[in-house]
Structure 1
Amino acid sequence: MSIPPSYPRGPRLSFRDFTTADIADVHDYTSDPEVTRWSTWGPNTLEQTTAFIDAAARAHLEADRSAYSLAAVLKGKAIGSVAVWTTDPHDRNGELGYTFHRAYWGNGYATEAVSQLLEFGFKTLQLERISATCHPGNIGSIRVLEKSGFSLEGRLRSHRLVHGVRRDSLLYSILREKHPGAVPPR
């Protein structure tokens, strides 16, 4: 087993690997139709949430880990799921995503989390470009990405198949050179 990198810490949030103790907290938001409205998954059954937590909890055992699905923790409670992963190791491209419990929306937690994910992606994973996609109707996520310095690259037509229906996505990205605090690659 490799030694995990130290995860970033925001002013209010900390990030850690999921544990089975998180299942109830995570299921509370992954089973909420309003939270999953714009997602490609959900609302989750308890079995689906448990499978997600089990897979995420085992990921820290992987050697040469290039994907991090982490709990966003506030005062000891997992209030969200955040992820950053390498999509192309040669070109050093990656992607990120996030989901938060509805009770915590509108308080800047997603923006704080994205800032920390970018720092982790650029510094620890040594990525040069990080992208994110969202549904064109997801105004909250669009605001988070724009506040975080992402640029809209375009609309991906018929990009996702969700519950049997094709739908578009907006593609955003940010480059290492555009992120404050990013360091040159090793």
Structure 2
Amino acid sequence: MPDTNMIFETTKLYVRQLETNDAAAFFELMGNPNVMNPIPQKPFNEKESVSKLAELILLEKSSDTKIWCLCQKGNNKLIGICGVLKNDDKEDEIVYRIIETYWGNGYGTEIAKGLIDYCFVTMKSNLITADVCIENVKSVKILNKYFTIEKEFFNPEDNCIDRRYVLKRENWL
């Protein structure tokens, strides 16, 4: 059953605030090269993972960056993370990442749609973006379902070519 920290829910998933007791599952996500390489980022060691989790919990309370825990309905265990942040142009950007053992269940598509709905309905956004490394084929496929390609650019932080997708409110609601 979803807890009192629930942010929103979809058909099969719900989103809640991250908690320190999510550390083991968070490390399973952030420490897995199969999850991190397509981003592309290097996998975290356990110490880095614990530090990043603490940072994200604090950011959720104190900034425009909102990274949350993704759970299957009926289970409080973290199966991924998702959220909304401000990109370099100060636009709302959706983000998501799922533990490898949960891939292939349509959760990426479902949470992308849930985040879009959350941004337009709850946050009253007029425009949503999503950035993805062009080599991250699975996320590109998901984003192509809902968004329009705006541009491609070099991302020096991740040392890759990213594609920015955009979706306007009037094209969704």
Question: TM tier, shorter chain?
Answer: 0.7 to 0.9
Q: Deviations over 1:92-137 (max 9, x none)?
A: 8311111101111121101111111112212222211111111111
Answering whether residue 151 of structure 2 is matched by residue 159 of structure 1, we say no
Structure 2 length-normalised TM: 0.87
Cα deviation, residue 6, structure 1: 6.0
Partner residue, 1:66? 64
Tell me the amino acid that sits aligned with residue 56 of structure 1. L
Answering whether residue 156 of structure 2 is matched by residue 175 of structure 1, we say no
Instruction: Report the 3-state secondary structure (helix = DSSP H, G, I; strand = E; otherwise coil) of the residue aligned with 2:130.
Output: strand
Structure 1's unaligned 5+ residue stretches are 181-186
Cα deviation, residue 42, structure 1: 3.0
Question: 2:23·2:50 contact (CA, 8 Å) conserved in 1?
Answer: yes
Q: Deviations over 1:137-167 (max 9, x none)?
A: 11100111122x11112211x22333xxx32
Rg (Cα) greater in structure: 1
How much identity, in percent, do the aligned residues show? 23
Tell me the amino acid that sits aligned with residue 28 of structure 1. E
Structure 2's unaligned 5+ residue stretches are none
1: CA distance, partners of 2:126 / 2:83? 17
Which is helix-richer, 1 or 2?
2
Partner residue, 1:145? 143
Cα deviation, residue 87, structure 1: 4.4
Partner residue, 2:91? 93
Question: 1:151·1:174 contact (CA, 8 Å) conserved in 2?
Answer: yes
Alpha-carbon distance change, 127 to 6 in structure 1, aligned in 2, over 3 angstroms: farther
Cα deviation, residue 9, structure 1: 0.3
Question: 1:80·1:98 contact (CA, 8 Å) conserved in 2?
Answer: yes
Structure 1 length-normalised TM: 0.81
Instruction: Report the 3-state secondary structure (helix = DSSP H, G, I; strand = E; otherwise coil) of the residue aligned with 1:122.
Output: helix
Question: 1:23·1:50 contact (CA, 8 Å) conserved in 2?
Answer: yes
2: CA distance, partners of 1:60 / 1:140? 27
Instruction: Report the 3-state secondary structure (helix = DSSP H, G, I; strand = E; otherwise coil) of the residue aligned with 2:105.
Output: coil
Question: 1:38·1:134 contact (CA, 8 Å) conserved in 2?
Answer: no
Cα deviation, residue 11, structure 1: 0.7
Cα deviation, residue 59, structure 1: 3.5
Tell me the amino acid that sits aligned with residue 22 of structure 1. D
Instruction: Report the 3-state secondary structure (helix = DSSP H, G, I; strand = E; otherwise coil) of the residue aligned with 2:41.
Output: coil
2: CA distance, partners of 1:24 / 1:153? 37
Q: Deviations over 1:11-58 (max 9, x none)?
A: 111101110110001101211111101224330111121112112223
Alpha-carbon distance change, 79 to 131 in structure 1, aligned in 2, over 3 angstroms: same
Query: What value does the CA root-mean-square deviation take over the aligned residues?
Result: 2.2
Instruction: Report the 3-state secondary structure (helix = DSSP H, G, I; strand = E; otherwise coil) of the residue aligned with 2:22.
Output: helix
2: CA distance, partners of 1:5 / 1:49? 22
